Structures are given as C-alpha cells and as structure tokens.
Amino acid sequence: MNTVIKSDKTLDVRGEPCSLVLLRIKKTLAGMQGGEILEVFTTDPCTEYDIPTWV
C-alpha cells in the first residue's frame, strides 16, 4: 500500500546556488504554519544535508 503525501507549498529552486536555496527555503517556511509540508525541487546535492543544519 502506497501513501500519497500532498504538499501545502512547492518551491522550485533548481539551478540556484546553495546559499540562495537555503535562504528561499527559510523564507518560505517562515510563512507557513506548523504541520504544513513544503516540497522542494533542487539540483543542489547538498540541500538534503544543509536543511537540518541551517534551516
């Protein structure tokens, strides 16, 4: 059985540098409510490690 999780917001930062990716994620999250889901599309391979550290 597959569970589908629907995001509340989507952020497309593909092709943007790492520092800008993190700033845009942080800004977007600041405008969201607790429990909402943000879906992020990025080409930066470090983002998955940077988010828990910096955001």
**41 is written with which tokens?**
């599309």
pTM of the shown model: 0.82
pLDDT of residue 20: 92
pLDDT of residue 54: 82
More confident residue, 4 or 1: 4
Q: Is the pLDDT of residue 55 over 80?
A: no
Cβ neighbours of residue 29 under 8 Å, at least 6 residues apart? 38, 55
Q: With 0-12 CB in 10 A as exposed, 13-18 as middle and 19+ as buried, what is 24?
A: middle
What do you get for the CA distance between the two ends of the chain, in Å? 32
Which pLDDT tens digit goes with each residue over 3-54? Answer: 999 999 999 999 999 889 999 999 999 999 999 999 999 999 888 888 888 8
Sign of the C-alpha dihedral computed for residues 17, 20, 21 and 22 taken in this order: positive
